[in-house]
Each structure stands twice: as C-alpha cells, then as structure tokens.
C-alpha cells in the first residue's frame, strides 16, 4: 500500500517507516522537520535498503497535501505529525491547537477531497486523564486534560469519531500510545529531540551523555511500590509493529476503532533508571525532587483489545531490551 506518513521523520514515525518498508509498503513522508532532521532519511535507507519519498512541508498547507494526493495514489494515512511537549503546550497553547487540531482538520479536508478515507491516528494515554483507575481500558470515559497538549488529543479523537459517524465509509484507527521508549536495534534510529527534552528517557540519555548534570526524580512519595511514578514503557519497535497490525485491520473495518498500545505492565522511575545503569555501566547522578504538576501516580494499559482485535502484543519491551537498544543508539550513532 502507498501510505502517507505525516511526521514520518520523527521518533515513532521513522521507526514505523522502517517496518512499513520491510513489510513491502511504500511510505510517502510529509514532515516540516520541526522536531527531526534530514539524516533520519539516510538512516531509514541504511536499515531497509530503500529511501522513502520525502516532502518537507507542513500538514497545515492544503496545497502541499493536495499535491501529494494528486501525485501519488495514497491508500491510507498514518498521522503522527504533532507538537508533543506537555510543559511547552502550557506556555504556547495557540501553537499547539494550531499545529495539532488545525493541522488535523486540513489533513482530513484534503483526504476527503482526494477520496482517501483510511486513517491511523497517534493518540495518547493522556486522554484517560486523572479520573480513571489503572489499568486504562478503551471503553473508559475520556478524562479531563491537565494541559493543552492533552486537550488537543482529546479534541482530535472527538473530531475523528464524528467524521466516522458522518461518513460511514471512513475507516479510522485511534491508537493510544503509553510511554514510547527504546531505539532501533541497529543503533541507527532513536529518540533525538531538538531542544530541551521533556520525557524521562531522553533526559536519562542527556544525563548519561554529561549534557545534563543530574536526573531529578520528580516524586518519591506516590502510592506506588517504591514511591516513584509508574508508567507503561513500550519499545518503539513494538509500537511501530502495532501500526502495521492496525493498518491491516483498519482497511477492512469501516468506522472508528480505539486500541491501547502498551505492555500492560507498569515500571517505576527507579526500575527504569536501574535498568539503564545496568545496560550502560554508567551510574546516573540523580536526586529526588518534588512531584511534577499534573503527573499521576500510575499509568498502564489494559492491552486485551489490541491482542484480541489486532493480534498484536509487545515483544521487545522488557526494561533490559529497551535500555540496551537506547544505549546502542547513543554509542553507535556517536550521540555520546
Ligand atoms: P516527534 O516530535 O519525534 O515526531 C513528530 C514529527 O512531526 C516530527 O518529525 C516533526 O518535525 C513533525 N511535525 C510536527 N508538526 C508538523 C507539522 N505541522 N507539519 C509537518 N510535520 C510536523 O514525536 P513522536 O514522539 O514521534 O510522536 C509522534 C506522534 O505520537 C505525535 O502525534 C505525538 O503526540 C504522539 N504520541 C507521542 C508519545 C511520546 O511520548 N513520544 C506518546 C503518545 C503519543
Ligand atoms: C515518566 C515518569 C515522571 C522526567 C508524557 C505525556 C504523555 C505522553 C508520554 C504524549 C513520570 C518521571 C520525568 C524527569 C522524572 N506523551 N520523570 N524526572 O508524563 O508519563 O507522559 O509522555 O502523548 O501525554 O504526559 O512521561 O517521560 O515525562 O515521565 O522523574 O525529569 O518519569 O514523573 O513518573 P509521562 P514522562
């Protein structure tokens, strides 16, 4: 299939393009390189032996999208492109609503005009908010977002659900990712955000590289086994493979489906830090700090629906494999 991959140069998008190419699909990447760089294209080519079509452009540009749909017979869209930094979204709400919500609306309008009605969408566990109890299940009511980033994901899910009601021939898959981590086992792709990282694993990497002085463990007084926050860390290759399964399913399923992509198990900050120290041989300078505003104690998925309906489950997401792959990426790609 010819797949338009918005945000395909980014962390999750690039790993998904590798799996798409290896499965015989043809990804066509649209990315404005806001949070990625051109080297990713060479790295995808080195891993797969194929260079995907890449167009540098913005999902908010209707002309660019119309051109892409006119030039390629696009069978489906995987829509990763978004801004994703939670704290930044509080400072810059308009940029987040514009990129994420306006961008999705323009994309949907272009798809509709081109007669392309199959979409896999990057949603997030953030939509469960703080009201629901773990493990989070797809049939729970969506929670209240504590930041504009989370609000954009809730809004986009709603827009896509409304689209499916209004257009019964549309096929939409909402994938709620838990905490994506890890890197490609080749060491050629991984998470390399532009600017100051927000998430735990990229921060761990910066501390290991000596680019940040220490890791602040934000909260050790949660009601969890060791007092630190518990999350469902999912290897990015597992996540990428989940997209292929979702794609296979969505092409034959009109309507809007929702699937959690996680492991179903929680890991604490300390457990992840210890696994990283073991994989790298580095002792990370760290200390406990107050809780981060808006954080919840625990987040992990009920993954039964993805197993049952998509035939997908995480296979590479042990703390050991995740940390070994991240460490290989840091060392092999000279990111240290
Ligand atoms: P990323 O920042 O690495 O990738 C996003 C890509 O989209 C980047 O290459 C960026 O340059 C591009 N982009 C951003 N705005 C664009 C625009 N207007 N037009 C074209 N390209 C644009 O992020 P990621 O971690 O790969 O996340 C991918 C998707 O998954 C996002 O929608 C994100 O919200 C969602 N998600 C991520 C996580 C996570 O923790 N990484 C968790 C849940 C959901
Ligand atoms: C993980 C754990 C922190 C930084 C976020 C978004 C969510 C989704 C995934 C996109 C928590 C602790 C963190 C630090 C720490 N993204 N931590 N020191 O908050 O679970 O989820 O990314 O959709 O929407 O909210 O991920 O990696 O930021 O934090 O101790 O310097 O690490 O308290 O327990 P989070 P995270």
Confirm or reject: Cβ of 242 under 6 Å from ligand 2: no
The predicted-structure confidence for 301-329, as pLDDT tens digits, reads as follows 999 999 999 999 999 999 999 999 999 99
Residues flanking ligand 1, CB < 6 Å:
6-7, 9-13, 30-36, 58-60, 80-84, 99, 103, 122, 124, 177, 180, 199
272: CB partners within 8 A, 6+ apart: 181, 200, 201, 204, 233, 319, 323
Mean pLDDT of 121-148: 97
pLDDT of residue 18: 99
- Mean residue pLDDT of the chain comes to 97
What does the pLDDT average to over 103-125? 98
Kindly state the helix (H) or strand (E) to which residue 29 belongs, with its residue range. strand 26-31
pLDDT above 50 for 92: yes
Rounded to 10 degrees, the C-alpha dihedral 122/125/128/132 comes to 160
Q: Would you say 18 and 43 are in contact if contact means Cβ atoms under 8 Å apart?
A: no
- Is it the case that residue 125 has pLDDT exceeding 90? yes
Q: How far apart are CA 114 and CA 295, in angstroms?
A: 41
The answer on pLDDT for 277 being more than 70 is: yes
Of the listed ranges 138-147, 187-196, 293-302, the least confidently predicted one is 187-196
CB of 224 within 6 A of ligand 2: the answer is no
At residue 336, does pLDDT exceed 50?
no
Residue 193's pLDDT band (cuts 50, 70, 90): confident
Strands 179-181 and 171-177: unpaired
Given a cut of 70, whether residue 199 has pLDDT beyond it is yes
Percentage of the chain surpassing pLDDT 90?
96
């Amino acid at each position: 299939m010819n797949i338009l991959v918005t945000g395909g140069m980014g962390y999750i998008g690039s790993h998904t393009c590798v799996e798409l190419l290896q499965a015989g699909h043809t990804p066509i990447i649209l990315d404005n390189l806001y949070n990625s760089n051109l080297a990713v294209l060479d790295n995808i080519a080195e891993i797969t032996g194929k260079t995907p079509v890449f167009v540098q452009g913005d999902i908010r540009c209707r002309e660019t999208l119309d051109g892409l749909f006119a030039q390629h017979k696009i069978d489906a869209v995987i829509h990763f492109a978004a801004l994703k930094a939670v704290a930044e979204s509080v400072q810059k709400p308009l940029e987040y609503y514009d990129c994420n919500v306006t961008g999705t609306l323009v994309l949907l309008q272009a798809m509709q005009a081109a007669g392309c009605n199959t979409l896999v969408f990057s949603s997030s566990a953030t939509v469960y908010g703080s009201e629901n109890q773990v493990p989070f299940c797809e049939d729970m009511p969506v929670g209240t977002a504590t930041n504009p980033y989370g609000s954009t994901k809730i809004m986009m899910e709603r827009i896509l659900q409304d689209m499916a009601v209004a257009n019964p021939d549309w096929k939409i898959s909402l994938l709620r990712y838990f905490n994506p981590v890890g890197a490609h086992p080749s060491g050629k792709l991984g998470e390399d955000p532009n600017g100051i990282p927000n998430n735990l694993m990229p921060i761990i990497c910066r501390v290991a590289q000596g680019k940040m002085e220490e890791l602040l463990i934000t909260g050790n007084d949660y009601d969890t086994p060791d007092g630190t926050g518990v999350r469902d860390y999912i290897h990015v290759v597992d996540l990428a493979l989940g997209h292929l399964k979702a794609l296979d399913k969505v092409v034959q399923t009109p309507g809007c489906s929702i699937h959690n992509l996680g492991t179903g198990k929680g890991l604490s900050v300390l457990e992840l830090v210890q696994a990283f120290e073991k994989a790298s041989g580095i002792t990370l300078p760290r200390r406990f700090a107050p809780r981060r505003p808006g954080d919840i104690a625990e987040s992990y998925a009920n993954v039964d629906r993805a197993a049952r309906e998509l035939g997908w489950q995480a296979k590479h997401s042990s703390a050991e494999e995740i940390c070994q792959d991240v460490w290989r990426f840091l060392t092999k790609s000279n990111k240290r």
